[in-house]
Structure 1
Amino acid sequence: MSWKLLAHAPRHRVRQALLAHERLEETGDWDSDMVLTGSEVAEDRPDDWQLDAYLPRKPRAADRKLLATLFGADAPRIVAEELPETDWVSETQKSVTPIRAGRFHVHTPDYPVDDTPGIVDFIIPASQAFGTGQHATTAGCLAMLDTMRRRGVRVRDCADIGTGTGLLAFAALALWPRAYATASDIDAVCESVVTENCRLNGVAEGTGRGALAMITAPGTDHPLIHARAPYDLLMANILAGPLMELAGDFAALVAPRGHLLLAGLLTTQEPAVRAAYRIAGFRLAGRLVNSDWSILWLRRRWQPA
């Protein structure tokens, strides 16, 4: 028996609730049985959104309370709905439509490969880890990586901190196929996710050129991350708070004149994030806004100010 809890709210409130959900997942304070999705109610009502929380059991009062906390004060009405028996993972994958970002085409196994010349195709199953390409921050990072390559950026050593599915690391290796690549995530489940996605996309695993080394680590706290520094390119699509906390750590890992790609921050959070990285010795090289999210391409000064 499957159920869902649903709540209707304006788009910005649903997105804030999804961000709050990510924070609770990071701290381990979220019930892993409850899977969230957010979407607009109808194409002609772009500001009216619905937050759905899927459960493998009948919702309890504690489930309603947990969902309500995501909205803070004045939470919307939460409704429970029993669902017909079906394979919800499969159904979710079918609803995740392909995306195009720069030269990249990202889709679940339910959709065909795009073999158009010049297009880089990735298969990323849905409902695994953050970073399927559907979120505006991930798609924005893919587009920015494509821009960086077209503008002549050269990468010999890159790292993806908070990789999720491995997608950004895959994209970097597609653009700079002779680079050393490292991917890390605080969630140990991502190691098996990335390994499977490497298999699906023909990405080699290992520590040599053109291969991906996947590790579990909080932030930059792992010997391999430090041993492979300095990086020509470091990517982090996480959250604004952790990004600001990691500014000094990232500065110590990025080579002088090296590149930093940051995402996971709302446009309203951008000034604070940029200020933290300006102090750490980075300058803005490029900026992209995708919906309410900022994607920042920063470059480290030759000598920090």
Structure 2
Amino acid sequence: MADCWTIRTEVPRSVAQAALLAHEEAVDWPYDWVLTGMEIADDRPEDWFVEVYLPKKPTAADRKRVAALFAGSSPNFTVTKLPDEDWVTVSQSGLEPIVAGPFYVRTPDFPPVLGTIDFVIPASQAFGTGHHATTAGCLAMLAAMKRRGIAVRNLVDIGTGTGLLAFAALALWPRALATASDIDPVCTGVVEANAATNNVTLGAQRGELTMVVADGMADPLLRARGPYDLLIANILAGPLEELAADFSSAVVPGGSVLLAGLLETQERAVRAAYVRAGFRLAARMVNGDWSILWLRKRTRQPLHRASASR
């Protein structure tokens, strides 16, 4: 297995969030470097860590590139070589189960709980075990949409990762056509394995899930299976803004988009992009420092009747 190293620092929340925003603006950021940031502990909401995973021993130039995300700050970095194991799997192993709405998400290390919609998501090479605030928030928002009577006949999960959000949507709307996509080819095998574990049928019929590798909406199969009445995208704020028009074209009037992966400080810009694309806010949720947005596409305004008087 290839080497994996981390560059880590612990900083105040405001500094971490500024670094995450700077990362989104860094157009030359290496594609195989993964940056994460979150609270160190639930009882320390103002103390965050930021960690970069990279597939080589970092050079002085690499450290300088990471430090550039912290303009105006001088954080102390710790460089560590990880064991020869997949770092995502290691980081996710032993995670406690979570409850989000009716959903109970666990690794195989824990037993099921009766009366819940139970999903087993092993530690894997893809993101989306449900433990991140954005994924858990999406699960809760999907349940809220169901409670409010939203009917879904055709859904798509963009940036599916482990497939969890697509699985959850199918559990709530079991007769829907369902499509999941991710830009990372490794997710195909991960989704297939998780589908088998959770008795989700892969296929192209109603109640089944179709998986495709795609960058945003740039795939003929995604376009052919639309338009959708539910589009889920738990990705990043920058891509969410860029994809607003594409998502609008892919969603039926009155349809819903569920957006996550954005910090609360990024919400205003994302919402503005979707208002311009023809959406209105239906509900929002803040989970930690992360915003989860449910927006609905506006229907065509009725034509005004011409006045009978002259």
TM-score band, normalised by shorter chain: 0.7 to 0.9
Tell me the residue number matched to 1:208: 205
Q: Secondary structure at the match of 2:46?
A: strand
- Residue deviations 1:85-118, cap 9 Å, x none? 888666533342221111111122222222x21x
Cα distance in 2 for partners of 1:39, 1:279 equals 31
Deviation for aligned residue 1:174: 0.5
Deviation for aligned residue 1:277: 1.6
Cα distance in 1 for partners of 2:88, 2:236 equals 26
Structure 1: which 5+ runs fail to align? Answer: none
**Larger Cα-atom Rg:** 2
Alignment check: 8 A CA contact 2:162 2:187 kept? yes
Task: State which of 241, 244, 248 in structure 1 corresponds to 2:245.
Answer: 248
Structure-2-length-normalised TM-score: 0.84
Task: State which of 227, 231, 244 in structure 1 corresponds to 2:228.
Answer: 231
Q: Which moved more, 1:205-214 or 1:12-21?
A: 12-21
Superposed CA RMSD in Å reads 2.9
Tell me the residue number matched to 2:49: 50
Alignment check: 8 A CA contact 2:89 2:124 kept? no
Matched, 1:128 2:125: yes
Alignment check: 8 A CA contact 2:88 2:126 kept? no
Deviation for aligned residue 1:168: 0.9
Matched, 1:29 2:26: no
Task: State which of 242, 258, 261 in structure 2 corresponds to 1:261.
Answer: 258
Cα distance in 2 for partners of 1:214, 1:186 equals 11
- Residue deviations 1:107-137, cap 9 Å, x none? 22222222x21x1111222352222212211
Tell me the residue number matched to 2:70: 71
Cα distance in 2 for partners of 1:27, 1:140 equals 30
Q: Secondary structure at the match of 1:158?
A: strand
Tell me the residue number matched to 1:80: 79
- Higher fraction of strand: 1
Deviation for aligned residue 1:60: 3.7
1:88/1:194 CA distance change after superposition, 3 Å: closer
Alignment check: 8 A CA contact 2:6 2:80 kept? yes
1:68/1:232 CA distance change after superposition, 3 Å: same
- Residue deviations 1:255-303, cap 9 Å, x none? 1211111112222222222222222221111111111221111111221
1:187/1:57 CA distance change after superposition, 3 Å: closer
Alignment check: 8 A CA contact 1:281 1:303 kept? no
1:29 alignment partner AA: P
1:17/1:110 CA distance change after superposition, 3 Å: farther
Deviation for aligned residue 1:202: 1.3
Alignment check: 8 A CA contact 2:88 2:125 kept? no
Q: Which moved more, 1:12-21 or 1:218-227?
A: 12-21
Query: Identity rate of aligned residues, in percent?
Result: 60
Deviation for aligned residue 1:209: 0.9
Matched, 1:97 2:99: no
Tell me the residue number matched to 1:286: 283
Cα distance in 1 for partners of 2:40, 2:13 equals 10
Structure 2: which 5+ runs fail to align? Answer: 303-310
- Report the count of equivalent residues: 300
Tell me the residue number matched to 1:190: 187
Cα distance in 1 for partners of 2:48, 2:16 equals 7
Q: Which moved more, 1:53-62 or 1:193-202?
A: 53-62
